Structure 1
Amino acid sequence: MEHQGRRERKKAEVRARISDVATGLFLERGFDDVSVSEIAEAADVARPTVFAHFARKEDLLFDRYPEAEALVVAAINNRPEGTSAVAALSDLLIELSDQGHPLSTIRARFRRFWEVVAESRPLQARARELLQHLEDAIADAMAHTGVADPQLTAALTVAAVRTVHLEAIRRILATEDETVVAADYRARLITTLASIAQLHS
């Protein structure tokens, strides 16, 4: 068991190193102008090792998606008694935003990240795919909460969050004051998700 634990830690360290190196190169030069071979060389691993940890080049930048999905599912499954699934998601997203968490990205320091995404169609396409995966995971979790129509509720929730989040990102890219943007994001998210929770809980 201890050997297995060390092996898993080593795998996680290699994965993090590859992603960190790749992200640095992407932020410096743009996603489309960096090859997987360059990333492998810079991370001091073989090219197949990159794909052993990341199925697609795009996932090198979106490496925290598994963490995001795990947090969202846990928020629904472990919500306090009397709290709806949508309200639990709202609480999680507000907490991440208030912390300036990397999974929230509503801060000026993430501007370059979103510029890289905006410059690359493959990244935009992968972001849409991951959002669909997240919606499916939310629907599966909601199916065990008594929500009448978990697929519809999940779709409405994700669409609302996406709309509010993208508007905040546009404002960050336009170099608006991050404090104002974060406050508006917080208020819109609470109001919008509260409406969905009221209708679909």
Structure 2
Amino acid sequence: MTGLRERKKRQTRQHISDVATGLFLERGFDAVTVAEIAEAADVSVNTVYNYFPAKEDLFFDRATATIDRPARRVLERAPGQSAAEAVLGGLREDIVERTPWAGLSEGYAHFMRTAFASPALLHRMREMQLQMGQRLAQVLREEAGAAPDDRIPELIADHLILLQSSLMRAGGACLLNDVPPAQAAERMLKMLDDAEWLLSDRVLDYARRPAES
């Protein structure tokens, strides 16, 4: 059970993040200072930095979970399921259910416009994608029992993360062009079908978890 102190810390972190996001969306990321965020959230600047080491962390406040998501899906894959099937199946589920991870919620286009307008945030997105691929490759190597000099885990991880990134860009482009979320989801699912059809059996079968007897 989460203690009172921990709950208060989470509430404070969420409050600061919510205040910062509101200011970023209103004025742009680069125009807002950490001092202004602290004042608006009624906390000290040091408190902001205690929860968010960098200003970019205030915008991407779920970065850790986002980076870990594909790898976690591999670790939690069902008996008989391969690594690629777990990652692609999770993407499909996110799109169908329009979870926040799929970027298909109302108002997400404004969030994206704010991110694309800031060189610092664009750089952070590239860093997050790189870290996501590295984390996935690490898990693939462990789950497949691959040798240290085997490059297959990295190649498959790069392939899957690039596919995911392409899906997110396609969905984001739809929203930026005022395509309704439901229609954007349909386009993303069709793109996912096509991408999965193009994958080789080696990719689709890699690190398949043994089926239950």
Q: TM-score, normalised by structure 1?
A: 0.91
State the 1:178 CA deviation: 2.3
State the 1:96 CA deviation: 1.6
CA distance in 1, matches of 2:197, 2:46: 46
Q: Does the CA contact (< 8 Å) of 1:19 and 1:61 recur in 2? A: yes
Q: Say yes or no: does 1:80 pair with 2:83.
A: no
Q: Does the CA contact (< 8 Å) of 2:83 and 2:140 recur in 1? A: yes
Q: 5+ residue gaps in structure 1?
A: none
CA distance in 2, matches of 1:155, 1:83: 20
Q: Does the CA contact (< 8 Å) of 1:87 and 1:193 recur in 2? A: no
State the 1:74 CA deviation: 2.2
Give SS of 2:143's match. Answer: coil
| 1:116 aligns with one of 108, 111, 114 | 114
Q: Say yes or no: does 1:59 pair with 2:57.
A: yes
CA distance in 2, matches of 1:150, 1:69: 17
State the 1:194 CA deviation: 5.2
Deviation track 1:98-133 (CA, whole Å, cap 9, x = no partner) reads 222112112442110001011111110001001111
Aligned residue number for residue 96 of structure 2: 98
Deviation track 1:159-181 (CA, whole Å, cap 9, x = no partner) reads 11112211221121011232221
CA distance in 2, matches of 1:79, 1:43: 40
Aligned residue number for residue 189 of structure 2: 186
* Higher Rg: 2
Aligned residue number for residue 211 of structure 2: none
Aligned residue number for residue 134 of structure 1: 132
Aligned residue number for residue 9 of structure 2: 11
Q: Structure 1 residues 194, 150: closer, same or farther in 2, change over 3 A?
A: farther
CA distance in 2, matches of 1:25, 1:17: 13
Deviates more, 1:169-178 or 1:141-150: 141-150
Query: What percentage of aligned pairs have identical amino acids?
Result: 32
CA distance in 2, matches of 1:194, 1:25: 43
Q: TM-score, normalised by structure 2?
A: 0.86
Aligned residue number for residue 175 of structure 1: 178
CA RMSD in angstroms comes to 1.9
Q: 5+ residue gaps in structure 2?
A: 207-213
